[in-house]
Structure 1
């Protein structure tokens, strides 16, 4: 334990939305194909939409191929069962591979385009071989497995191709379907034509839906980016203000207070304490009086030793504090003891240091907290706000004629 009973006189680069927002220009190239993995120009919402669309479409295409292929084998035209089985197995195997690629996602526009046109080739084979794989009656009423697979496929293509190639693939597979339908049953071709004509319309509707969803995702990403920029700017501005407040508090506690005391004649300019205090002020303002992590007690004892009033001190042998809390407590303790020396009318104070608090008290004249002028910010800035900024608390109680108690508290980490 330590006791003192005699007086001792010793930047930040601001982000711009223009620099970081996803493109929302409607004239910009259509962002699909949706490649997997993080895209350098794609925001979080668009990336999530991309992944979800890829996987939903992969599952849809695979399921339709499997179910349609099974029904195709079961309803194969008489005499063509083997051919139907071979074609169906080929189409289903390709569809599963295609779905796997959709799930994982090719990495370039070229591979997306190649994937789409390879699928067109397989679908064209399925369409042109309908005389072997689809009963004639199913052609006219639109119940064949080929038209179902074609309809789903043209929808899928719009989500991973650009506009012109996507619509071209829709027209190509539709043409193959119609040719195959004509070869199968010319007399029912009108019905097949009506069904086939709807297929490009499905492609257009899928393209419109994809465009709207992507644009909506881009807008959401742009809004989130602007909000994030605003939050960062606000955080930077608050950090600057906090730094300014901390520096002003430090200036108030050190050089400004020392010069004021000399100017008011509270202490002589040639007094040894003034020279020692001026040296301490310069060290503090130069940022050289950093509190190391670990034991904060030596730094607090230094403040007590430098005080102009006699200090009755009670303290533990060690006080482990974080550097941030230690700096705040040291500065607040210094200001509290300065206030005792300047305003209380007393020549002594009591300081009790524990693991969770520092209490500074005097039996001086005291004051009314609500009567402190707004222009006097020593208590508010150098004690209360300093502790609050570091995650602690400062509680001040005082009344005229009853002395003052300053309690500095923090949570034990």
Structure 2
């Protein structure tokens, strides 16, 4: 998640409203639509809670702002949690200040939360306020499902469990990634391996010390690809979508026509990859396969973890795929010129939206991390041993040799 003045949680749902297509500019959430109620706007942003019921999707409803851990508006490298999401080479507003929490109503009246958001006292109180605004209370919450291990998604899960007795679930592979974790020594070794100059390592160490929160959540229920969530009267299917993290999952509600995408596919931001610890397979190869998996749900509306709901999933997947293929091609050309270049030296020669010289703190770390996974992807021949990594007929290898 990018740094910003606030981290928010939004309960969404409500009567169906028009969804944006990926190519359509999304309005800032502080730009009110005629007829909408007034809003609470921390830092100039607005979050709206609604309830996701059968046949309903994510239209605006009564507003509630749920800030997370505040930092100065001009400080993109200070603490804020979840600073893992943005690829520095993206055109989206980098200070994305909120995460969506989805409240799903079962036929028996119970409520099931999807990604309750970043853990802070203020978020905890405002989550309760949001539920009360819908005529609900914590006593109705029966379960929590986590799409992935980053703190802006799972942070409040343990508080919800302690207060309500709700059972917390996630994919087994994501729980394994949490158990593996990463210590300070791992980070230092990585900076050295990347070839980061000694003078800049301290900056990155300080950034990671301020924002690097290691998830420690232990789920009550470990699930697998294809399982359904235990929500009475609903068929909520889990789709394993590794890449952003090793065990990331999307949730498909075919009856309601909604795919909850977590951080797997976002309407404007390119999610960072390989941000859940080491894996046996390359995160880009995993991610490209995961994009191909969800394209079959193109007819569904996408309810993402950040930004805004949208339609046109296949088109957005194609654009993200093209972005990563292009980036790998750019890295390949640097290696052709300098076969012994370090990851730091390669990254310094790649085009970044903000400009390499302007990358600091988290954005510098993210640039280096993304460069590392792209170089690993190239070493694997552009796939992880199968053309399925890029999807049918997409033949990444020919692109990298251009």
| Greater radius of gyration (CA) | 1
Q: Is TM (by shorter chain) over 0.5?
A: no
Give the TM-score normalised by the residue count of structure 2: 0.24
